[in-house]
A = this chain, B = another copy of it.
């Protein structure tokens, strides 16, 4: 096992432990049992945990003098991501039957519990931040603002999702809000949790978020439903904006490669810059369908 793989495995373990602890703090025996079950179902087993991994990787690269703060930020971002998946899957939006290879939350628990599970996850995100930063409140306000901006109005995930309800939407803006905002929050929160100025870390997250969105569009256009654990071909079926619809498959792959290169070059000076660059290139390989990655390499 090489060094980068060990870092990867350590990140995964830390994230799952922190998520489990945070969920267990509210999904207690006193909670409504079906809501508690739906909340656990929405978070575990997870997807690739790309956003919290990115947050912790940046915090480590910046020295990570306060691991509890970085863990809390990573959990908050993952809870907000899960909340957006649960609400986006609702019948009034995508009416998605599958998510992460199992029935979506509203198919498994009903629409009412799916609405409430999303709400509870948003609250849990901020509660986890408050709990994790209780002994270091000076960093709490900064982390809260980074996280809240990435999910709320005027340009966070919720705003991005609302662009689908407007008469017309700009693809770049839509993707920046729907995906890029949470990736930018991941890199900025990782820096802020380690006591480092988050501003210079925004570009890294934005570029990776754009790259991830392009990869997601490629999965939707070319992927295999069984391997992905969710339906494919939805962008065309729902007439949603998509990089593949705008640029074609080859154009989308070229765009993705350009974005990852720009991301790696944007890493600000920090103690772990070299390792972070290596990790990012390795993680990017997870984004693409394997067959396309070989074509792109």
Residues of A within 8 A of B (CB): 26-28, 30-36, 39, 83, 87, 90, 92-93, 110-113, 115-116, 118-120, 122-124, 126-127, 129-131, 133-134, 137-138, 140-141, 144-145, 148-149, 151-156, 158-159, 161-166
Q: Whose C-beta in chain B lies nearest to the C-beta of A125?
A: B126
With A112-B92, A152-B120 in contact, do A166 and B33 touch (Cβ < 8 Å)? Answer: yes
B26 touches A112 (CB 8 A): no
Q: Which residues of B contact A33 (CB under 8 A)?
A: 166
Q: Which residues of B contact A35 (CB under 8 A)?
A: 153, 158-159, 162, 165
Q: Whose C-beta in chain B lies nearest to the C-beta of A127?
A: B148
Can you list 11 residue pairs at the A/B interface with Cβ under 8 Å?
A: A26-B153, A32-B163, A87-B119, A112-B165, A122-B122, A122-B123, A123-B148, A129-B144, A131-B145, A137-B137, A137-B140
Given B115, B120, B166, which contacts A32 in the complex, CB threshold below 8 Å? Answer: B166
Q: Which residues of B contact A133 (CB under 8 A)?
A: 141
B158 touches A116 (CB 8 A): yes
Chain A interface helix/strand/loop/mixed: helix
Q: How far is the CA of A11 from the CA of B100 in the complex (A)?
A: 49
A152 touches B140 (CB 8 A): no
Q: Which residues of B contact A140 (CB under 8 A)?
A: 130, 137, 140-141, 144
A145 touches B165 (CB 8 A): no
B116 touches A161 (CB 8 A): yes
Given B93, B118, B153, which contacts A120 in the complex, CB threshold below 8 Å? Answer: B153
With A87-B119, A159-B35 in contact, do A127 and B111 touch (Cβ < 8 Å)? Answer: no
B159 touches A130 (CB 8 A): no
Q: How far is the CA of A33 from the CA of B153 in the complex (A)?
A: 11
B27 touches A154 (CB 8 A): yes
Q: How far is the CA of A74 from the CA of B177 in the complex (A)?
A: 29
The smallest beta-carbon distance between A238 and chain B, in angstroms, is: 12
Q: Which residues of B contact A90 (CB under 8 A)?
A: 115
B120 touches A92 (CB 8 A): no
